Amino acid sequence: MDGNANGYRWIGTRTIRPDGVDKVTGRAAFGADFSLPGMLVGKILRSPHAHARILRINTDKAETVPGVKAVVTSADFPEIPPAEATKGSSPPNYRHLSQNLMAREKVLYDGHAVAAVAATSAAIATEALALIEVDYEILPHVTGVLEAMADEAPVLHEDLFTGGVDPKPEKSSNIAKRVEFAIGDTDAGFDAADVIVERDYDTEGIHQGYIEPHAVVASMGADRQANIWCSSQGHFMVRQYCAGLLNMSIGDIKVTPAEIGGGFGGKTTVYLEPVALLLSKKSGLPIKMVMTREEVFRGTGPTSGSYMTIKVGAKRDGTITAAEADLRFFAGAFPGAPVHLGCMCGFTPYDIENVKAIGYDVVTNRPKAISYRAPGAPIAAFGIESAIDELAKKLGIEPLALREMNAAKEGTRTAYGPTLGVVGFEETLEAAKMHPQMSEPLGPNQGRGIASGYWFNVGGESSASVSINEDGTITVTSGAPDIGGSRASLCIMAAEIFGVDIDQVRAVIGDTTATAFNRHTGGSRVTFALGAVVIEAAEDCVRQLRERAAKTWDIDIDAVEWENGEARPAGENAGKFEPLTLMDIAEKTPMTGGPIGVKKSSNVQGPGPAFGTHICDVEVDRETGHVKILRYTAIQDAGRAIHPGYVEGQMQGGVAQGIGWALNEEYIYGEDGRLQNPGFLDYRIPVASDLPMIDTVIVEIPNPTHPFGVRGVGEIPIIPPMAAVANAIEDAVGLRLTSLPMSPPKVLSALDDGH
């Protein structure tokens, strides 16, 4: 729904983002675009082995190279004892984070950092890296999740014992934890079913694939006060993690956010920043570090791959009576696969009495997995939404109809405990049914697939300030990086509250000294949570503006109303006064009590969970296994689309990433445990010619906990595509593909076996 039709002046309109011109003219400064006089170049030496014990590191030769100013290894980082692994609120595991940053006793994956150098030029730094001698004792490695779970598998961490099982195991294992979510009695549920489908599915590890490599400039003063400029999803996160990893006090670190060139969850941790700080401390000079694309693939967090078993049963009439999922996700070198989130989201689109989802978090010799858009949910949805499709076909019910029959709604009990509040899943299914794509005729070897997805969305700590400037313009300062247009949505919400022209409002992202703490940008939280805080601050400003008008007119504040950006007497009795515009009042603030500015901080709760439903049409080349995406429609409950253009953009971008995940993206490891495709040539993200236009339908079922009804939008669109594509392929050629990516060799051999 576009502006005004919804009764608002700015909400729902397609305004131009305040940071837009800088980004189309090349002026916007991203992570690698910043520099300081006299700064050095930092580079990292990475392990060529998937699993090895470090016997000795000798940096003597490197340190003597002219132009080399500092060399660091794990010995330069404080060792974090298990007891102090988690400190602060909702923290990472600092012990693991530190070991991932710089390998200690062992390297755990190809690309694991072992040392770093700072030099006067990139060429000298590279030359010095080659002179660092590392003696490795190569150990057997394991990169597959089932292989890592096997009894005889090489163990990555001798001190890792499976959690979530009773009694506590005596033998260390690669299975970090087991989780279970269940309601009802699935055995009884399956007994009551007339039709049951059960299959195994597997997915490969894939990377977020942001186009901007990680980059940082860091400077540590002699007084140990530090300045960091970097692109991340949370400069407060960078500050917190650096302090925790280097035993610094948070107050001594200032982080200034650069523009961020994509993150999708991959920039919610640190890789370079603490290393750059240490190199700066040792050399006494500022350090710039920029990853190569190869380093991004080998050294930074992809998302989990998986092996899943999905079982669903239903009555002839289509009532789903029971559902079970066994999800085995690999986490890479350290625990933390988002398998619990996969368990929680997977069956939530459906109102099922008996559900059991069991998850295993498994370590493997791969880079440590980090968040990627709706962590865990897309993986589970690939298996579960494929199973729902297969069940529908077996029942002879249209896949969309089966979803409607069993759709979750307000009051539906989820497998992870709570009942759902106001949600818009049924509305997305209805919109799908009505969409013209559903009636587009399909030719030979063409097929249509449907899939749905669920995500909680996230709130969290949010801080912002709103200032009335002397000329009546308004500055909104947010502490959460703008990763895809959130400055635009914050401006829109503020302009709506003030009732002023959008061009009177500017939103900026402040550094860590400009606002109080902010949780990182992620989980689709910023327009919802920062929005709530900005709205609160703006409303407080409006109250003060009315107060100033009341003082000017010498009447009671209750006799002043605020409308269309100006203060007016409320009705006849209030007295006759010419309205005072925001500008009039701003100019006079020195005489009416001083500047007007409001800072707000809050831990915003109650994010609106949301659902999406996708329709995908494909054509399969039976002779080559090539799959072409013919048409695609994404439908999603956004609660309220503040800026429809950026909501559509999130949906279209999520779909494109999902199509890449479905068809071509994968981490390819050789027998030697080395990554074979650490570049955009062979890690194949979709290019423009791979995709059709991606149609979007925004459903708006307002989130009751947000003033404008906002729900998060960024995560959901990546959840349904893999299953939507698989279901479309099945519809086209009658083959159920269960392994991602569904690349041409896999599709072709399935076609050959199928005949």
Partner 1 sequence: MTDVVLSREIARKFTGGETRIVVEAGTMRAIVRQLDEKFPGLKSILGEGMAVAIDGTIFQDFFLEEVGPDAEVCFLPAIEGG
Partner 2 sequence: MAKNHVTTTINGEPVEFLCETQQTLLDVLRDELQLTGSKEGCASGDCGACSVMVDDRVVCSCLVMGVEAEGKSIETIEGMADGDQLHPLQQKFLENAALQCGICTPGFLVAAKALLEKNPDPTETEVRYWLAGNLCRCTGYDKIIRSVLEVAEEAKGA
Partner 3 sequence: MNGMRYEAPSSVDEASALLAGASGETRVLAGGTDLLVQLRSGMVAPELVVDVKKIKEMMTYSVSDGAYTIGAAVPSAQLHEDADLLGMWTGVVEAMDLVGSTQIQGRASLGGNLCNASPAADSVPAMISAGAVCTVAGPNGRRDVPVEEICTGPGQTSLAKGEIVVTINLPKQAPRTGDAYLRFIPRTEMDIAVVGVGVCLTLDEGGTCTDARVSLGAVAPTALLVKECADALVGTKVDDAAMANLDAAARAAASPIDDKRGTVEFRTKVSGVLARRAAAIALERAGS
Q: Using CB under 8 A as the criterion, which residues of the chain lie in contact with partner 1 when the complex forms?
A: 86, 89-90, 164, 166, 179-182, 208, 264-265, 268, 338, 340-341, 344, 371-375, 416-421, 456-460, 522-525, 603, 605-607, 609, 705, 712, 714-715
Q: Is 749 in the site for partner 3 (CB under 8 A)?
A: yes
Q: Is 579 in the site for partner 3 (CB under 8 A)?
A: no
Q: Is 678 in the site for partner 2 (CB under 8 A)?
A: no
Tokens of 603: 């831990």
State the number of binding residues for partner 3 (CB under 8 A). 26
Query: Dihedrals φ, ψ of 47, to 5°?
Result: -70, 135
State the number of binding residues for partner 2 (CB under 8 A). 58
Longest dimension (CA), the chain: 88
Among 273, 256, 226, 221, residue whose Cα is nearest residue 515: 256
Residue 629 touches which of partner 2, partner 3, partner 1, none (Cβ within 5-8 Å per kind): none
Q: Which of residues 28-47 bind partner 2 (CB under 8 A)?
A: 28-30, 32-33
Cα–Cα distance measured from residue 123 to residue 420, given in angstroms and rounded to the nearest whole number: 57
Q: Which of residues 278-297 bind partner 3 (CB under 8 A)?
A: 294
Is 108 in contact with 52 (CB distance < 8 Å)?
Answer: no
Q: Interhelix angle for 94-101 vs 235-246, to 10°?
A: 90
Residue 338 touches which of partner 2, partner 1, partner 3, none (Cβ within 5-8 Å per kind): partner 1
- Collapse the DSSP code of 293 into the 3-class scheme (helix H, G, I; strand E, B; otherwise coil) and give the result: helix
Q: Is 211 in the site for partner 3 (CB under 8 A)?
A: no
Residue 649 touches which of partner 3, partner 2, partner 1, none (Cβ within 5-8 Å per kind): partner 2
Tell me the sheet residues that pair with 629: 618
Among 738, 740, 744, residue whose Cα is nearest residue 667: 740
Q: Is 694 in the site for partner 2 (CB under 8 A)?
A: yes
Cα–Cα distance measured from residue 750 to residue 737, given in angstroms and rounded to the nearest whole number: 8
Among 589, 223, 236, 620, residue whose Cα is nearest residue 449: 620
Sign of the dihedral through C-alpha 652, 656, 657, 661? positive
Query: Dihedrals φ, ψ of 419, to 5°?
Result: -90, 150
- Collapse the DSSP code of 610 into the 3-class scheme (helix H, G, I; strand E, B; otherwise coil) and give the result: strand
The DSSP result for 651-665, as a single string, is HHHHHHHHHHHHHT-
Instruction: Mark the segment that binds partner 3 (CB under 8 A) among 95-103, 587-595, 637-645, 661-669.
Output: 661-669
The DSSP result for 540-597, as a single string, is HHHHHHHHHHHHHHTS-GGGEEEETTEEEE-SGGG-----EEHHHHHHTHHHHTS-EE
Among 133, 676, 734, 754, binds partner 3 (CB under 8 A): 676
Q: Which residue, 299 or 523, is less far from partner 1 as judged by CB?
A: 523
Tell me the sheet residues that pair with 327: 308, 359
Residue 655 touches which of partner 2, partner 1, partner 3, none (Cβ within 5-8 Å per kind): partner 2
- Collapse the DSSP code of 143 into the 3-class scheme (helix H, G, I; strand E, B; otherwise coil) and give the result: coil
Q: Which of residues 154-173 bind partner 3 (CB under 8 A)?
A: none
Q: Which residue, 459 or 569, is less far from partner 1 as judged by CB?
A: 459
> Strand 226-230 and strand 253-257: pairing?
parallel
Considering the complex, what minimum distance in angstroms separates the CB of residue 204 from partner 3?
12
Among 55, 130, 434, 687, binds partner 2 (CB under 8 A): 687
Residue 468-497 contact track with partner 2, rule CB under 8 A, x = bound: ---------------xxx------------
Tokens of 96: 């693991």
Cα–Cα distance measured from residue 21 to residue 568, given in angstroms and rounded to the nearest whole number: 36
Q: Is 744 in the site for partner 3 (CB under 8 A)?
A: yes
Q: Which residue, 525 or 674, is less far from partner 1 as judged by CB?
A: 525
Tokens of 414: 């989820």
Q: Is 668 in the site for partner 2 (CB under 8 A)?
A: no
Considering the complex, what minimum distance in angstroms separates the CB of residue 283 from partner 3?
22
Cα–Cα distance measured from residue 366 to residue 156, given in angstroms and rounded to the nearest whole number: 11
Residue 24 touches which of partner 2, partner 3, partner 1, none (Cβ within 5-8 Å per kind): partner 2
Residue 150 touches which of partner 1, partner 2, partner 3, none (Cβ within 5-8 Å per kind): none
Q: Which residue has the tokens 């989820």?
A: 414
Residue 588 touches which of partner 2, partner 3, partner 1, none (Cβ within 5-8 Å per kind): none
Q: Which residue, 28 or 748, is less far from partner 2 as judged by CB?
A: 28
Instruction: Mark the segment that binds partner 2 (CB under 8 A) among 45-53, 191-199, 640-648, 744-752.
Output: 640-648
Q: Which residue, 42 or 717, is less far from partner 1 as judged by CB?
A: 717
CA 484 to chain centre: 12
Q: Which residue, 254 or 746, is less far from partner 3 as judged by CB?
A: 746
Cα–Cα distance measured from residue 13 to residue 8, given in angstroms and rounded to the nearest whole number: 9
DSSP class of residue 529 equals I
Q: Which residue, 318 or 660, is less far from partner 2 as judged by CB?
A: 660
Among 680, 707, 735, 744, binds partner 2 (CB under 8 A): 680
Q: Is 20 in the site for partner 2 (CB under 8 A)?
A: yes
Contacts of residue 413, defined as CB under 8 A and 6 or more positions apart, other chains included, come to 183, 351, 419
Q: Residues 42-57, buried b or exposed e (16+ Cβ, 10 A)?
A: bbbbbbbbbbbebeeb
Q: Is 143 in the site for partner 3 (CB under 8 A)?
A: no
Q: Is 3 in the site for partner 2 (CB under 8 A)?
A: no
Considering the complex, what minimum distance in angstroms separates the CB of residue 687 from partner 3?
5
CA 563 to chain centre: 38
Binding positions for partner 2, rule: CB under 8 A: 14, 16-17, 19-21, 23-30, 32-33, 123, 208-213, 259-264, 290, 292-293, 483-485, 643, 645-646, 648-650, 652-657, 679-681, 685-689, 691, 693-694
